[in-house]
Structure 1
Amino acid sequence: MLQQTYPQVSHPFAYELNKDFHFAAAHYVPSEKAGKCQRVHGHTYFANITIAGDQLDEAGFLVNFSIIKQLIHDKLDHTLLNEHGELFSDESSALFPTTEVVARVIYELIAAYLQTTENKPLCLQVFLRETPTSYCIYRPVKLLRQLQGGSVL
């Protein structure tokens, strides 16, 4: 993976972890407004996940890099995203597997895992590149507003 600088999220935490990984997946967007993207096609997605916190776990990690990759890569790599009925839907535009929705779903999967850990770090940002010229950033706005106000969850 090429080294890249990603947009930063301002936060008050002592530690920030960023994990880059990629996965190959096909999808289609079930909307007439999607143009050519209505047809099944594939991408090699490149993702960067930003996680922050103040406490390390018993192994000295904020979160183990390999777990972050496993949560997403092992689930989505070499699949048709539309077939993940628990994550995406052809019935609701809020769940069509667009780049924006895929980024949000990645955030939700990671955030759910982080809540099960003892040190409870937070996912602050998901950067998802779909093509060399197109990417999306998902930030959990409620969480970031809480951080700006000085209270966290």
Structure 2
Amino acid sequence: MIQQIYPAPHHDYSYELNKDFHFSAAHSIPSEEAGKCQYVHGHTYFVNITIAGDELDHTGFLINFKTIKQLVHDRFDHKVLNEDPAFSETDSDRFPTTEAAARIIWESVEAYLQTTENKPTCLQVFLRETPTSYVVYRPKKKGISS
């Protein structure tokens, strides 16, 4: 695992948890403008997920590290991202780009967190596609527009 310093989101929560892991997946971007990336190819993605909250659950966890990894790794590892129902071959906002993958990972993690007793929140997903290219996804706070 690469030792990495990730950009830290500002927040006022008591606890912040970060989980690093990787998964291997293939994808293609369904657009001629994607150049070589329009053809099926693979990456070993490195992920950092930042979760925060004020309350621990009945086991003393904000969220179990194992659960975070299962939510993403079990879904995407050794898969073709284009085949996951969250991605689309016709909606460019849902093409299997690193940007969309980071957002979809956030959506999946956040949906799970909202079912837990202590309801922590996912602040950001850092997704590295190659040693030199990565995306950070942070949802906009409700009621705030640019």
Q: Same fold (TM over 0.5)?
A: yes
Structure 1 spans left out of the alignment, 5+ residues: 147-153
8 Å CA contact 1:24, 1:44 repeated in 2: yes
Q: CA deviation at 1:4?
A: 1.0
Q: TM-score, normalised by structure 1?
A: 0.92
What is the match of residue 100 of structure 2?
A: 101
Deviations 1:47-90 (A, max 9, x none): 00000000000000000000000000001000000011x21010
What is the match of residue 126 of structure 2?
A: 127
Following the alignment from structure 2 to structure 1, what is the Cα–Cα distance between the partners of residues 34 and 48?
25
Alignment of 1:65-84 (within 5 A): 65-84=65-84
Q: CA deviation at 1:143?
A: 4.7
Following the alignment from structure 1 to structure 2, what is the Cα–Cα distance between the partners of residues 133 and 144?
34
8 Å CA contact 1:124, 1:144 repeated in 2: no
Q: TM-score, normalised by structure 2?
A: 0.96
Report SS of the residue matched to 1:56.
Answer: coil
Alignment of 1:4-153 (within 5 A): 4-84=4-84, 86-143=85-142, 145=144
The runs of at least 4 consecutive aligned structure 1 residues that moved more than 3 Å come to 143-146
Higher helix share: 1
Following the alignment from structure 1 to structure 2, what is the Cα–Cα distance between the partners of residues 22 and 90?
25
Following the alignment from structure 2 to structure 1, what is the Cα–Cα distance between the partners of residues 68 and 5?
19
Structure 2 spans left out of the alignment, 5+ residues: none
Structure 1 vs Structure 2: percent identity of aligned residues? 67
Following the alignment from structure 1 to structure 2, what is the Cα–Cα distance between the partners of residues 80 and 6?
27
